[in-house]
A and B are shown apart, each in its own frame.
Chain A
Amino acid sequence: MPTDTKRVRGPEVSQSPSLFLWKSAAKKSTASNDARVDGRQRGQVDVRSVFVRCGLISQAKGSAYIEAGNTKLICCVYGPRETERKDETDMKSGRLITDMRFAPFSCRERGSWIQGSDEKDLSLMLLESLRPGVCLHKYPRSQIEVNVMVLENDGSVLAHAVTCASMALADAGIEMYDLVLGCSIRQEGATYLIDPTFLEENGCNLASGSRENLGSLTVAFLPSLNQISGLQSDGEMGEDTLTGGVRTCIEGCFKLYPVIQQALSKAVRRKAPPSES
């Protein structure tokens, strides 16, 4: 890694203590086939309960914070403002710019400050999922910036980032066709785990029979319009499993929808000027 002259320097090489775990603590097999570690069920649409709040950052036009289990994300929206690069100004519609970052302390291994290819990939996926939901033709010659910061990564980061970003856009007063909600599942053989935690996403329960149908899937969905704006899939899954998985994710999104709507209406009421009486 090139030396970063702009930051305070530490040793050239350092290793995470998790590489040197005691052998006795290392191997821990996952629990029986029915229960997941946090008490949710396999094969059922059991999303983690979510805490959402809008309008936390005073400097941003709109902001939202989401907490699902241990996954914590914050998103800020700035704009519409003048495009920075004049040659990219679009006369007919606005531009949406997304930036997704992980805090160095958000994952088990410390991440670096310099943006890696993972972050750029996720930012692009976030952009593709959000763009169909925003009425960009109403903001010609301007750009809207969406910045997401992951404070703690405990699984299904992209799905929650999509939800958080669309709440922040709504909080900023940007016109949208519909909210974009995200949901992800991890398929393991015959059963699926909805809204997986970090260990579930990266772990591999080989005890569940054959190695086929092992993968994960993230769907970004517009509930009122019943349209899918983003789909990201990893691993190998059969055609039926994949379509079943998409349907499950859509169900998960519908479960989240009332919570998000309530949080947004609370935020709007808080912002509204007191009524004359």
Chain B
Amino acid sequence: MAAGFKTAEPLEYHRSFLKENCRPDGRELGEFRTTTLNIGSISTADGSALVKIGNTTVMCGIKGELANPPVDAPNKGYIVPNVDLPPLCSSRFRPGPPGEQAQAASQFIADVIEGSAVIQKEDLCIVKGKLCWVLYCDIMCLDYDGNLLDACLIALLAALKNARLPEVTVNKETEVPEVNLENRRSLNIHKHPVGASFIVFDDSIMIVDPTAEEESLSTATITVVTDEEERLCALHKPGQRTTLSSPLPLL
């Protein structure tokens, strides 16, 4: 009976729970789902992590490659994050080039990396002007049940901490790089940004860590990223209704 009501009137179904200050899966309004983390399972990647927030499953793999540094910043390397939402994670995604949500998520992760200085790009430079590391951070969603951005951030951070890049020296005579796969060093992580996503329901109620159904019924979404010193790294509010100023202090 409840299942029928849920399909026919999803908004009313959720409202009836919110009146009692709780949600259909039994959580409080400010409660996150259980998060599990599995690090370093992919041996072909230089660093990897699998995160599960409730049912949302995201896997991040890091591969390091060598390239010439950019012309305008010869002492910096590259970090290239990319989020992919393959058709296997949910029936709403079709195969083909990345859709809007995937592109927006990729850009958001790139902005957080820049803004919070998780890794100094100078650390990725091997020889100034000639050789640098490119860290390809490929984030893949395996199961989409809401709150994608938080999961991607956690997976990225865990994979970066787990990543071990081989030592590279440049042979002075031949100017060819030489890689020693046995000697590996970890990356230097300066900051640890953590994200929290909220949705606004009915323009008045703020809910943390939404599931996919709650996201589809929301009127606005906000993601806040802070680091361990409680400084704000990024704030992401992609359009939708304007929110009242009073919910914001709750953050």
Q: Which residues of A contact B (CB under 8 A)?
A: 6-11, 13-18, 20-22, 25, 56-60, 70, 72, 74-76, 78, 81, 99, 101, 103-108, 110, 113, 145, 147-149, 151-154
What residue of chain B has the Cβ atom nearest to residue A70's Cβ? B43
Q: How far is the CA of A74 from the CA of B86 in the complex (A)?
A: 12
The answer to whether A7 and B106 have CB atoms under 8 Å apart is yes
Q: How far is the CB of A134 from chain B (nearest CB, A)?
A: 18
The answer to whether B168 and A14 have CB atoms under 8 Å apart is no
Given A58-B145, A59-B145, are A99 and B87 also a contact pair (CB < 8 Å)?
A: yes
The answer to whether A59 and B59 have CB atoms under 8 Å apart is no
Q: How far is the CA of A106 from the CA of B140 in the complex (A)?
A: 12
Given A72-B42, A104-B138, A151-B42, are A145 and B87 also a contact pair (CB < 8 Å)?
A: yes
Q: How far is the CA of A9 from the CA of B48 in the complex (A)?
A: 21
The answer to whether B63 and A110 have CB atoms under 8 Å apart is yes
Q: Which of B63, B78, B107, B178 contacts A105 (CB 8 A)?
A: B63
The listed residue with most B CB atoms (<10 A of its CB), out of A56, A60, A103, is A103
Which B residues are CB-close (under 8 A) to A16? 63, 65-66
Chain B 155-193: CB-based contact to A (< 8 A → 1; otherwise 0): 000000000001010000000111111100000000000
Interface CB pairs A-B, < 8 A, 23:
A6-B97, A7-B103, A8-B106, A8-B107, A16-B63, A16-B66, A17-B65, A17-B66, A17-B166, A17-B177, A20-B168, A25-B180, A25-B181, A25-B182, A59-B212, A74-B142, A99-B87, A106-B44, A110-B136, A145-B87, A147-B87, A152-B44, A154-B43
Interface size class on chain B is 35 or more
Q: How far is the CA of A17 from the CA of B103 in the complex (A)?
A: 28
Which A residues are CB-close (under 8 A) to B78? 10-11
Which B residues are CB-close (under 8 A) to A78? 87, 91
Which A residues are CB-close (under 8 A) to B64? 17
Q: How far is the CB of B175 from chain A (nearest CB, A)?
A: 12
The answer to whether B134 and A10 have CB atoms under 8 Å apart is yes
Answer yes or no: B80 CB below 8 A from chain A CBs: yes
Q: How far is the CA of A110 from the CA of B80 in the complex (A)?
A: 13
The answer to whether B65 and A59 have CB atoms under 8 Å apart is no
Given A7-B106, A8-B107, A8-B110, are A106 and B81 also a contact pair (CB < 8 Å)?
A: no
The answer to whether B67 and A104 have CB atoms under 8 Å apart is no
Q: How far is the CA of A105 from the CA of B97 in the complex (A)?
A: 18
What residue of chain A has the Cβ atom nearest to residue B98's Cβ? A6
Answer yes or no: B45 CB below 8 A from chain A CBs: yes
Q: How far is the CA of A180 from the CA of B110 in the complex (A)?
A: 43
Of residues 61 through 101 on chain B, the ones whose CB sits less than 8 Å from some CB of chain A are: 61-68, 70, 78, 80-82, 84, 86-91, 95, 97-98
Q: How far is the CA of A63 from the CA of B87 in the complex (A)?
A: 13
Question: Given known contacts A8-B80, A57-B143, A152-B44, what 9 new A-B pairs fall within 8 Å (CB)?
Answer: A18-B179, A57-B57, A58-B143, A59-B89, A105-B48, A106-B44, A106-B45, A108-B44, A113-B82
Answer yes or no: B55 CB below 8 A from chain A CBs: yes
Given A101-B86, A105-B44, are A13 and B136 also a contact pair (CB < 8 Å)?
A: no
Q: Which of A7, A104, A149, A154 contacts B88 (CB 8 A)?
A: A149
Of residues 15 through 60 on chain B, the ones whose CB sits less than 8 Å from some CB of chain A are: 41-45, 48, 55, 57, 59
Which A residues are CB-close (under 8 A) to B176? 20
Q: Which of B65, B88, B103, B179 contacts A147 (CB 8 A)?
A: B88
The 7 closest A-B pairs by CB, nearest first: A105-B61, A10-B80, A105-B45, A147-B88, A14-B67, A58-B55, A14-B65
The answer to whether A15 and B86 have CB atoms under 8 Å apart is no
Given A58-B145, A105-B62, are A21 and B181 also a contact pair (CB < 8 Å)?
A: yes
Which B residues are CB-close (under 8 A) to A60? 88, 91, 143
Q: Which of B81, B91, B134, B145 contacts A11 (CB 8 A)?
A: B134
Q: Which of A8, A25, A145 contacts B81 (CB 8 A)?
A: A8
Q: How far is the CB of A129 from chain B (nearest CB, A)?
A: 19
The answer to whether A57 and B89 have CB atoms under 8 Å apart is yes
Answer yes or no: B201 CB below 8 A from chain A CBs: no
